[in-house]
Structure 1
Amino acid sequence: MAALILFTLFSLGLLFPLTSTTSDTLSKGSSLSSEKPEDVLTSPNGVFSAGFYPVGDNSYCFAIWFTQPSQSSHPTIVWMANRDQPVNGRRSKLSLLKNGNLILTDAGKFTVWASNTLSSSSAQLYLYDSGNLVLRTSEGDILWESFDFPTDTLLPQQQLTRNTKLVSSRSQSNYSSGFYKLLFDYDNLLRLLYDGLEISSIYWPDPWLVSWDAGRSTYNSSKIAAIDSLGMFVSSDNYTFMSADYGVVLHRRLKLDHDGNIRLYSWEEEEERWVVSWQAIQKPCRIHGICGANSMCSYGAGDGGRKCSCLPGHKMKNLTDWSYGCEPGFDLSCNNKDSGFLLLSSVEFYGYDYGYFPNYTLGECENLCLQLCNCKAFQFKFDEGKGFSKCYPKTVLLNGYRSPEFEGDLYLRVPESSLLSYTNSAEDFRLDCSSEGTVQLDRTYGKSRGNRTLKLLLWFAYGVGGLEIICFFFGLSLLRHWRKGKTP
């Protein structure tokens, strides 16, 4: 009897193999499937998980996240393999091949991502307690690790080096690569870079500061930075900071957010939520490119305490994305007499000056801009400390913000005929995130012939069954009529 039970269990194992993975290890020749939510690697301490994470309609990325969800109920992602090329929810796999290469394949069986590793000895994929996903041999040699390829997050024990950088996501719900980067520059300084569709610029530390005024050193070329679990960040350019809750061992993550600010988050166990314990930029409107061209940032109720608005006479290019900025609803003429200037108080647009012209009067600065066909506006400011005015004709209107702290004004060039109508026409748009982050994948599948045959057999069975029922009731009806005919 026992032998019969063992044989039955063995047969069921052949018919229904247990391929799901819930350990911290993936062995050579094994795979994780996007169709099986249970196919997840979990670190030995249970803090981190790795598997397929949904990022849109039928689109998935292989990711690492904190196992315990926050109050938002969404897992906190710390790494992604294929953030810019999600795979389909069907037939996609992460496989550790027998040659030691770790590959992510889509439904079409083509390789979306690979570790590009080779090993003749046995190799396994481990998820460490630190959140590091490591491919190593049986001898302990590391072939590949996720810590060497960060996305937008740095974890304790993970180093930012000359060969790595953090790249923000596109938005809060769109995990693809955005426009902001944290990296070591050519001068050995750790910087934040806005790398937009057309223009790039450094915005942290403040670009007008020399390195020593920003408390940095260019002499150490090692280019290494890291955060520890106590909340201290140390960089080789002498930049350091401590979190507001420094000294307590907590789950922490340093993230370059989609808005271009870098923040340190600490986990509050009791309230089960992440809190900001440090951030690099206290005035978010100073972040470059946040509102796009021909628009300005101001402080108020909005995303991160700020909002974007188009300049008068301009309209948004993309109603769901401020990074595209605004476009003018008019054409400027090179004829001086066809243009006028609209005063925008306490508004500054940083950079992209035609030049710097000190000690110009307001009229001289205006005439200078009118003589330049590509002059879009001019910045005018009186420097009380130096006792003279400053004139900056602008050829590109980027990095604009309005703040009472700015003791200068912007004079926007508009058609003279529209000057009066634009005086009070600044439009204020809000970001619509209702459809953001949905990624549509163009994937076609050939229908299985086996399924088609099965469907035909089922329809045939239904037809035969229906015919039998009809014949039954028809025969029953004839029988009743026959009996009635025989009754006297």
Structure 2
Amino acid sequence: MMVCAGQQNTSGYFLALLITPLLLINGEMTSDYPSSVEAPIFWINNNSDPKWDSEELTLQPIFVNEPFVCGFHCKVEENNTCLFAISIFISNGSYPYNPISRMIWSANRNNPVGRGAKLQLSQQGDLALRDVDSTLVWSPKTAGMSVLELMLNNSGNLMLFDRNKEMVWQSFDHPTDSLVPRQRLVSGQKLVANMSVTNWSEGLYSFSIDDNGSFVAYMESDATLLYYQSPGSNLRSATGQFYAEYHSCRFGTLSLPEVRIGSSSFSFIQLDHDGHLSKFWGTETGWEKAYDLFKKRLDSCSYPLVCGEYGICSPEGSCSCPEADQNRGTYTYFRQINSSQHNFACSPYNPISCKSPNQSLLEVKDVDFALPDFGRGNYHKADIESCKQGCLKNCSCKSQALSFKKVDASSNQSLFLKVQNSSAPQIPPPPVSPKKGGRQNMGVIIGSTVGAFFIVLLVICFLSFLESKKDAKDVEEDYLGHISGAPSRFSYEELKVATDNFSNKLGEGGFGCVFQGTLPGGAQIAVKCLDGFGPVRKSFIAEVETIGSTHHFNLVRLVGFCAEKSRMLLVYEYMCNGSLDQWIFYRDKALVLGWQCRRKIILDIAKGLAYLHEGCRQKIIHLDIKPQNILLDENFNAKVSDFGLSKLMGREQSQIVTTIRGTPGYMAPEWLNSIITEKVDIYSFGIVVLEILCGRKNVDRSLPEEDTHLISLFKRKVEDGQLLDLVDKCNEEMQSNAAEVVEMMKVAAWCLQGEYASRPSMSIVVKFLEGKMDDENEYDFSKPPAPAEVETLGYQTDTAAVIPSVLSGPR
């Protein structure tokens, strides 16, 4: 038995924390907004509710399901420019206030509404967005379908359900310009870019899957003007439609770099206003464009309007307007409108006019259309002179208003642009400068020399900076190989062979992807691939330093690592039963764990943490204890993994100051002031114990609002004497041992006390779970601990904060 003698007297001490305020990191702000509602209900777009503001945008939430928020998005400077939309947000270190959001779906992008607009889910089941004058702006047209519920799920999908809980509409079927993880793009659907950064309406570029299952990107005005086409085919569904599903490592046939490690590392892909399809991921400073999905087939000059209308793109990426030979004193016909690379455009001085037939063809040498070869379906070869004369005689003959690009002069290729001759400004030949006086020439020479000197100096400084960065990186990689007790170092090619070119993916998450492999000796391994810089590299080094030198049965063994330039891979022992979350949160009966197995897993986790806190030369604080970081071997032995956020703490230190890190929902209240001890791990352990016993997530927004947060529900059930209601109902063995399960809940409550000093050490938790605390003098559970007794356990407590509980045992 895991419960020791004297268990009938333990209740008062364990549940004391549940009377204190709950300071969950992810609870306070987002809990103000539901993730689902039932009809009838309506919302008004006004300023009375709490808002999340930035300099350009006011976001008034209706639904929140982290990391997504759905509501009214309004431009600060334009009161009549509001969209009903969904954004993905990150916290920027001030979670959850002032989040940095990025819009990923909108209902009315081409028809914005003003302040006072109304969104209503009627009794008849119709969802309708009406402007302030009651004009219908948008509706999914579900009237008559018995719609009862509107929900934003944790994948960012807005859904409507009928009274039979059947989905009748979802936003995933109507994408705008973005896709989020687990969202599919199906043939017949398309992404359409915004017009510009500031203009949310549909723009010039589209992206979809064609009838052959290939990705295509094209000008929205003419689907034949392709500028991108993928070579391979995507998957075909049972209905015959092609589709591509976005994951952090892959989108259909396209491979993507992994998402950065860290709790803010959400990602999405978006067709931007300049025609690029990019993957974005969250960083500490905002959303960063991490990867261009077109870059393997397109250069910077291959986009239809990279230099605006009539602009010419050079191989260096600069833009210019077409012009004649200025040295001959001929005419120029185009003027530059804007010098910005993304807003560059050229305009003819005199537009083509059929009323004034004085036109000619301007030859622009060594240029070509910006479109690749597969985007020229409408063009054909012809005799040049016949083509020129035919165009001059036909007023409707004009060039496409696209960009052009420079090509090699050896190609002997020319482009002819039709221009209007009248009133074209003539450019005279360059004037010859008269001779200047000697003193003035000397000033020019001195000025040029000084300027050249500073330019050379800047170049030298820049090269020295690059070399120092390279040296620092080499020193860092060399340092990894000399860490005391460091595991084996692999080459990238060795791991590529071991994983069969990374073909067998075990899973993916905020860090990226994990692949199964086999070493030459036959040992099974799991290879975690990290990609990125800054926090990712620090996390990589922390993991090698921390777990590489530790050895305990309940810690996942780090077999080795690879550090080659930007490639960072960690090699672990293979855990065939995966992570704990898939065994306690999923309702597949084949994956349900019995009581004895769950009890052993809890003890295994406690032993692993006790070793980290008390069995190493320095204390190791894990800082990210959660079911996803608990792995199970073939015998369901639990092992703590993922030390990327861990911190070392000297044994003489009572606490440390560090930046906030970890996973919202598992973070202790003391994180609010960034001064922590190893007791933050014990708080997280208490959350995990509750999740194991109850068979549900700490935060589950699919449940009624009052049951969303497990700790709040736990507190309420304690006060009502109904803890048996929390025991996992999906397992008969858990129900038949409900009395023991409730006793184990006291361990969770003990670890979850609001005051960190009142939580036990992990070694004491292990003793209690093993039934080795028979001597009541060692720890008396029946009353708050006396200071002398607490001192023998190595920590201090505020006994005034411990209030007797109403729990007296199982009922």
TM-score by structure 2 length?
0.39
1:87 is the counterpart of 2:90: no
Instruction: Select the residue among 228, 248, 268 that pairs with 1:205.
Output: 228
2-side partners of 1:88 and 1:140: how far apart? Answer: 33
Aligned residue for 2:275, secondary structure, equals coil
CA RMSD of aligned residues (A): 4.2
Aligned residues: percent identity? Answer: 22
2-side partners of 1:422 and 1:345: how far apart? Answer: 22
Q: Name the CA shift for 1:108/1:306 in 2 (closer, same or farther; >3 Å).
A: farther
Structure 2: which amino acid aligns with 1:242?
S
Instruction: Select the residue among 209, 224, 231 that pairs with 2:243.
Output: 224
1-side partners of 2:412 and 2:319: how far apart? Answer: 21
Match for residue 49 of structure 1? 69
Match for residue 326 of structure 1? 347
Match for residue 280 of structure 1? 294
The Cα shift of 1:202 comes to: 3.5
Aligned residue for 2:155, secondary structure, equals coil
The Cα shift of 1:371 comes to: 2.6
Structure 1: which amino acid aligns with 2:64?
S
Match for residue 140 of structure 1? 165
Where do residues 87-486 of structure 1 align in structure 2 (5 Å cutoff)?
A: 87-89=113-115, 91-118=116-143, 121=146, 123-196=148-221, 199-205=222-228, 214-216=231-233, 221-228=240-247, 230-234=248-252, 240-245=253-258, 250-268=265-283, 270-281=284-295, 282-298=298-314, 307=319, 309=321, 312-315=332-335, 326-327=347-348, 329=350, 339=360, 341-348=362-369, 351=376, 355-357=380-382, 365=384, 367-374=385-392, 396-403=399-406, 405=408, 407-412=411-416, 421=426
**Contact 1:346–1:404 under 8 Å retained in 2:** yes
The Cα shift of 1:245 comes to: 2.6
Structure 2: which amino acid aligns with 1:257?
D
The Cα shift of 1:25 comes to: 1.9
Deviations 1:13-42 (A, max 9, x none): xxxxxxx97211232121122104435234
Q: Name the CA shift for 1:194/1:26 in 2 (closer, same or farther; >3 Å).
A: same
Aligned residue for 1:285, secondary structure, equals coil
**Contact 1:342–1:419 under 8 Å retained in 2:** no
Q: Name the CA shift for 1:323/1:81 in 2 (closer, same or farther; >3 Å).
A: farther
Higher helix share: 2
Q: Name the CA shift for 1:24/1:299 in 2 (closer, same or farther; >3 Å).
A: farther
Structure 2: which amino acid aligns with 1:41?
I
Q: Name the CA shift for 1:168/1:252 in 2 (closer, same or farther; >3 Å).
A: same
Match for residue 472 of structure 1? none
Aligned residue for 2:90, secondary structure, equals coil
**Contact 2:73–2:85 under 8 Å retained in 1:** yes
Q: Name the CA shift for 1:151/1:323 in 2 (closer, same or farther; >3 Å).
A: farther
2-side partners of 1:82 and 1:332: how far apart? Answer: 38
**Contact 1:21–1:41 under 8 Å retained in 2:** no
1-side partners of 2:103 and 2:183: how far apart? Answer: 15
Higher strand share: 1
**Contact 1:244–1:278 under 8 Å retained in 2:** no
Match for residue 63 of structure 1? 85
Deviations 1:89-111 (A, max 9, x none): 1x211111000111101100121
Deviations 1:290-337 (A, max 9, x none): 44543333466xxxx65464654024789999698633527699xx99
Q: Name the CA shift for 1:289/1:154 in 2 (closer, same or farther; >3 Å).
A: same
The Cα shift of 1:262 comes to: 0.7
2-side partners of 1:419 and 1:327: how far apart? Answer: 9
Q: Name the CA shift for 1:218/1:296 in 2 (closer, same or farther; >3 Å).
A: farther
Match for residue 38 of structure 2? 27
1-side partners of 2:423 and 2:366: how far apart? Answer: 19
Q: Name the CA shift for 1:295/1:113 in 2 (closer, same or farther; >3 Å).
A: same
Aligned residue for 1:371, secondary structure, equals helix
Q: Name the CA shift for 1:131/1:423 in 2 (closer, same or farther; >3 Å).
A: farther
**Contact 2:234–2:244 under 8 Å retained in 1:** no
The Cα shift of 1:275 comes to: 3.2
The Cα shift of 1:246 comes to: 6.0
Match for residue 750 of structure 2? none
Deviations 1:406-434 (A, max 9, x none): 74443545678999936999xxxxxxxxx
The Cα shift of 1:223 comes to: 1.2
The Cα shift of 1:132 comes to: 0.7
Match for residue 607 of structure 2? none
Q: Name the CA shift for 1:75/1:313 in 2 (closer, same or farther; >3 Å).
A: same
Q: Name the CA shift for 1:370/1:148 in 2 (closer, same or farther; >3 Å).
A: closer
Q: Name the CA shift for 1:132/1:421 in 2 (closer, same or farther; >3 Å).
A: same
1-side partners of 2:174 and 2:363: how far apart? Answer: 48
The Cα shift of 1:76 comes to: 0.3
**Contact 2:205–2:218 under 8 Å retained in 1:** yes
1-side partners of 2:415 and 2:429: how far apart? Answer: 14
The structure whose RCO (Cα within 8 Å, separation 6+) is larger is: 2
- List gaps (5 residues or longer) in structure 1: 1-19, 235-239, 377-393, 426-488
2-side partners of 1:332 and 1:263: how far apart? Answer: 40
Deviations 1:236-255 (A, max 9, x none): xxxx1222236969411111
2-side partners of 1:424 and 1:100: how far apart? Answer: 74
Match for residue 3 of structure 1? none
**Contact 1:68–1:75 under 8 Å retained in 2:** yes
- List gaps (5 residues or longer) in structure 2: 1-30, 51-59, 324-331, 431-811
**Contact 2:278–2:289 under 8 Å retained in 1:** no
Q: Which moved more, 1:31-40 or 1:162-171?
A: 31-40
1-side partners of 2:191 and 2:412: how far apart? Answer: 35
Q: Name the CA shift for 1:323/1:31 in 2 (closer, same or farther; >3 Å).
A: farther
Match for residue 440 of structure 1? none
Structure 2: which amino acid aligns with 1:245?
E
**Contact 1:180–1:258 under 8 Å retained in 2:** yes
Q: Name the CA shift for 1:222/1:306 in 2 (closer, same or farther; >3 Å).
A: farther
